[in-house]
Amino acid sequence: MVVLGGKGGVGKTMVTAAVGSMLAELRSKDMVLATDADPGQSADLAAWIDPTASSTFADVLAHNEPERKFDLRYFVGQNPETGLDVLAANAYSGRPRGDIDADVYTQAHQRLQRLYSLLLTDTGVDYWHSVMPGVLRCSNGALLVTSAVPGGAEGAMRAIDWLVAEGYQHLVARMVLVINHVRGFDSRRDRRTTEHLVAGMTEQFNRWVSPDRIVGLPYDPHIAAGGPLDLNQLQPATWHALLKATAAVSYGLATGWSA
């Protein structure tokens, strides 16, 4: 599954870690891996899961092909609370080993999917980057993240339009959308204004995404504090919203469109 954001700052990477963590906890018999294919210098998926993780896609390809879970300890970090594994981005590793592109991603993905039942891939904001064709070809589902701020829908709609124009309509048809509240409410008026905004965004996205696959994620102090993410520290409303998003993803998994 590919995780996309219309623009930076919407909480895409956090949502990748959160949904991956939920999947790892709820589907304990399945091995779940979150990978960071964001080529940008600020790529930090590992910080939300296991800040000590440093291996990348290039490391997976540089060694003999792993055949057992034990072999993967050399390549992935893990959050022991949830069991979610993570493969870091080049920039986060501190020791880049060449640029990531579609070939590197595809070859590493082919190895990893033999051992992992579920793979989620965080991406950057440059959809034209050379890694994206590999990520999208390997994806059977999409998770799109936008923010509950004025203009927040614009970037997400551009992402949908781009996917359709590039021939990835099947990903749009299977998409789960998270509308992330990146800030708290200043007042009751602010709350009402934001609720009206989110209602309008939901109506706008209904053209592409059914209401049962659109989830509003509340602002949460634990998330605002930064990683690593601990699901037990989330507010109840946040936890239940993430559960709903994960359920939408899991439904797709059960019907065979996402992996």
pLDDT tens-place string over residues 10-32:
999 999 999 999 999 988 888 99
Query: What global pTM score does this model have?
Result: 0.92
Q: Is residue 128 part of a domain?
A: yes
Q: Is residue 238 part of a domain?
A: yes
For 46, 67, 128, 153, 174, the CA distances from 135, given in Å and listed in that order, are: 18, 23, 12, 23, 16
Q: Which residues pair with 179 in a beta bridge?
A: 146, 216
- CATH code of the domain containing 18: 3.40.50.300
pLDDT for res 73: 63
As for how many domains the chain has, the answer is 1
Q: Is residue 226 part of a domain?
A: yes
What is the Cα–Cα distance from 151 to 17, expressed in whole angstroms? 25
Place of tokens 């019907």: 255
- The range of the structural domain enclosing residue 113 comes to 2-253
pLDDT for res 62: 83
Regions of the chain where pLDDT drops below 50: 257-259
Q: Is residue 16 part of a domain?
A: yes
pLDDT in tens, 208-250: 999 999 999 999 999 999 879 999 999 999 999 999 999 998 8
pLDDT for res 107: 94
Q: Is residue 104 part of a domain?
A: yes
Give the three-state DSSP class for 77: strand
pLDDT for res 222: 96
Q: Is residue 97 part of a domain?
A: yes
What is the Cα–Cα distance from 140 to 158, expressed in whole angstroms? 20
Q: Is residue 259 part of a domain?
A: no
pLDDT for res 66: 58
Element (DSSP H or E) covering residue 198: helix 188-205
Q: Is residue 258 part of a domain?
A: no
32-36: strand order across its sheet: 77-78, 85-87, 32-36, 118-122, 2-5, 142-147, 176-180, 214-217
CB 37 within 8 A of CB 121: yes
